[in-house]
Each structure stands twice: as structure tokens, then as C-alpha cells.
Amino acid sequence: MSTAEEIRQGWRAKLQAETQLSSLDQESVMDWLMGEATERFAELLPAQLAIARQAMDYRFRILQQRYLGIHPDRAYAQLIQRLSSLFLIRSRIRTWVALSRDRRRSVMDVLQEVIQEMIQSDSYIRQQIGWIGRCTPNPRLRNALMLASLEEYCLRPIRNQPLLVYRFVNYLRRSQRGGMTQVPTGELIRLVSDEITPDESDNPVSLLDAQAMAQYQDEQAWQEQQAMRNQVMQEFSVYLEQELEPAAAAWLALHVQGQSQEAIAQALDLSITQVYRLREKISYHAIRVFGFKHEPQLVGEWLGISLAKNNLGLTAEQWPAFWQSLTPTQQQIFDQLKAGQSLEAIAKQLNLKSNQVTGEWSKIYLAAQKFRNL
């Protein structure tokens, strides 16, 4: 049996066990995962083959978690939500919008334009569109495969930054007019230096200094984000080892390295069923216990979903529907928590038990998570 056939056989068993796809759609997903030149697998060294397997597993997880079996409109909204949640992208777009003429544009508006331009002009994406069209005639599956390909491509790390950051820079270069190649005809030309002098001050302001400052602030924010991520991972690892089991901390370390569940099972000498159960336990503790009770502020600031600074990560468009979904008591709890009051103080003020307030806050937290994933 060739290497490609062996890989395909493994994926066939995985898709049959984990999806409800028809046999035809399963074959289409396998074609998409393996790519056009399947003969390349026979030429790869063991280390390279392991990386290729991890890459396929990563792409499938993206497809399975956010796009497979989801209505196309909702799936597209989840792609935009996922990409706009990236700290670097969000901060860069907000900075550009603040300095542009049209300050009413949202991050998602600009991001959708960048994605649309990529679909139209990026050679890799154009190649993927053609390949996906040959993989399956099912329009709904084609849409899911395309969105998964876009997410995976946009998040590829290039010099420690997502590829989407560089695509956004290219978009700005093409969309902004300037330079002698675009001089308007029949109009007066006003030459502007790299310094401006505000009407109310004699001190010139350098536009180049402002650009350098923005770049420096972006770099500082990125470093802070990475430091916070490392702190969260370290404390969550200690929590898992102490509160759950040592194998959970070992799973986390392998998972953040990008290891597949099969590779983790082999490394920990566990069955694949045990590893999936362990993953479910860790996911529960991450959301319901560690991120909610133990270190809510740290996790919230890292993910950009803190109550005080980010309104639980909800956008301006999501906020009205979320607020209306809360009961009057939950709205009171939300406002008082945002004002810095403790759960115990809120319980005393509302004449409730502490566990009742904690339960309502849990419902608010999970409701916000649901709205973020819409």
C-alpha cells in the first residue's frame, strides 16, 4: 500500500466516525485535505510526513469546528468573526480607520473588503477555488471547504504575524491614492510635506513620527499579548495538573505545539477515546472553571473578552441583541460587576444568595460566548 493510500484509508475511518457526511462527500473532503499532487507523500522524509499529517489534521479541525454542516451565511459570519478577533488585525484596522476620512467603517467592513480582494487576486486562493471545484459538485460543501481554506491561509504565521496582516498592508497600498502616478488632470495640485502645522499651534507635527509611533504601539501590544498568552498557558497548565490530572497538563503542552489527537494519544500512551474524553474535560474546565472562576480577568484580557474593557468581546452590532436577551436581574448584575463590585456585594444589594448571583453571572458569560460565535 502506498503512503497516499495509507493516509487516505486513515482519513476515511476518521470521517466515518466523526461526521455525518455521505460517502461521496467524505471522498471530496479527503481530496481537499490531501491536495492535487498526492504522489508527493511518497517522497517525504518521516519528519516531513509528520508535518504534512499535522497540517491536514489542523485544516480538518477548522472545517469541522466552524463550517461543516453550517448554513453558508452563518459560516461566512463565523469566518469574519474569527479573523476580526485577532488582536493584531483588529488594532491595525482600527488605527487605519481612525486616521482615514471615513471613520464610520467598522473592523468587519474593512476585513470583508480585504477578504474579497484576496479571493479575486491571490494566486493561492484562486488555485484553491479551482481545486475545490474539482473536488466536489456539492455547492454547500464547496462553500465550507472554501471558508476553511481561507481561515487556514489567513492565519499562517509569517515572521510571527498572521499572513492576513501582510494582506491588509497590501490592501492599503492599493486602496490609498498618492504619489505622482495618480496626479489628477485638470485640477490644482497641492503639495504637502511630511510635516503639518496646526492652525492653533506653531509647533509642526511630523506625519512620519505618527506612523512610527503607531508601528511601535502595535509592536508593544503584540509583545504584551504574547506575554499574557504565556502567562495564561503556564497558570492553566499548573491548574490542570493540580485540579484534574498530570496527563491533562501534558495534553495541553502537546496541543499548543499543534500535535494531532492521534499523536497525543501515542505520546501519552492512551487510547484515542481516552484522549478525546480528556480533551472534553479540559475544554470544560477552561471555559466553565478556570476562565470563569479562577482567572477571569487574566483570561478575559488575553482573549479580548474582559468585562471591564471589552464588554465580553461583543461587537457594537451584537450588543443590542445580547442586552435584550438578559433578564432585568442579569442586567443589574452586569452593570454592577462592570462598575467593580464583587459578587458578594451584589448579592447583598439585590437580596440574593451568593450562589444565585454566581449562577446568573455564569448564564451571562455563556450567553456572551454564544453571541460571539454567531
Identify the pLDDT of residue 209. 45
Q: What is the DSSP-derived secondary structure letter of residue 184? A: P
Residue 24 has pLDDT above 80, yes or no: yes
Mean pLDDT of 214-231: 60
Q: If you average pLDDT over residues 229-257, what whole number do you get?
A: 80
Q: Which of 36-40, 158-162, 206-210 has the highest mean pLDDT?
A: 36-40
Of residues 55, 30, 41, the one with CA closest to residue 2: 41
Give the span between the Cα atoms of 240 and 285, in whole angstroms. Answer: 8
Helix (H), strand (E), coil (C) string for 42-109: HHCCHHHHHHHHHHHHHHHHHHHHHHCCCCHHHHHHHHHHHHHCCHHHHHHHHHHHHHCCCCCCCHHH
Among 10-14, 263-267, 311-315, 334-338, where is mean pLDDT lowest?
Answer: 311-315
Q: Which of 110, 91, 308, 94 is nearest to 220 (CA)?
A: 91
The β-bridge partners of 205 are: 196
Give the pLDDT band of residue 222 (cuts 50, 70, 90): low
Strand partners, 196: 205
In this structure, the dihedral spanned by the alpha carbons of residues 322, 85, 369 and 226, taken in order and rounded to 10 degrees, is -140
- Mean pLDDT across 193-208: 44
DSSP character at residue 292: I
**Distance (Å, rounded) from C-alpha 95 to C-alpha 103?**
10
Q: What's the Cα-to-Cα distance from 262 to each of 270, 275, 301, rounded to whole Å? A: 9, 8, 32
- Do 4 and 41 form a contact (C-beta atoms < 8 A)? yes
Query: What percentage of the chain has pLDDT greater than the value 70?
Result: 68
Q: Would you state the cell numbers that stand for residue 314, as one nine-digit string?
A: 461583543
Confidence (pLDDT) at 144: 92
Cα 126 to Cα 182: distance, rounded to the nearest angstrom? 29
pLDDT band for 299, please (50, 70, 90 cuts): low
CB contact at 8 A, 363 and 313: no
Return the beta strands (E) in the chain as ranges.
157-158, 161-162, 195-196, 205-206
Grade residue 193 by pLDDT with cuts at 50, 70 and 90: very low
C-alpha cell at 99: 486616521
Domain definitions of the chain by residue range: 3-175, 220-306, 316-374
How far apart are the C-alpha atoms of 170 and 164, rounded to whole Å? 10
Please determine, for residue 229, whether its predicted confidence score (pLDDT) is greater than 70: no
Grid coordinates in use for 246? 498530570
48 C-beta neighbours (distance < 10 Å), count: 12
**pLDDT tens figures, 86-126:** 665 666 666 655 655 545 556 677 778 888 888 888 888 88
- Contact of 59 with 48, CB cutoff 8 Å: no
Helix (H, G, I), strand (E, B) or coil at 230: helix
Residue 241, pLDDT > 50, answer yes
Query: How do 195-196 and 161-162 pair as beta strands?
Result: unpaired
Integer-rounded Cα radius of gyration of the chain? 25
Report which of 32, 55, 63 is spatially closest to residue 260, judged by C-alpha positions: 55
How would DSSP label each residue in 353-370?
-HHHHHHHHHHHHHHHHH
Which three cell numbers mark 236?
Answer: 492553566
Q: In CATH, what number does 316-374 get?
A: 1.10.10
Q: What is the pLDDT of residues 121-166, one digit of tens each?
A: 888 888 888 999 999 899 999 999 999 999 888 888 776 677 787 7
Most confident of 167-171, 253-257, 296-300: 253-257
**Cβ neighbours of residue 44 closer than 8 Å, sequence gap 6 or more:** 3, 52
Tell me how long the chain is. 374
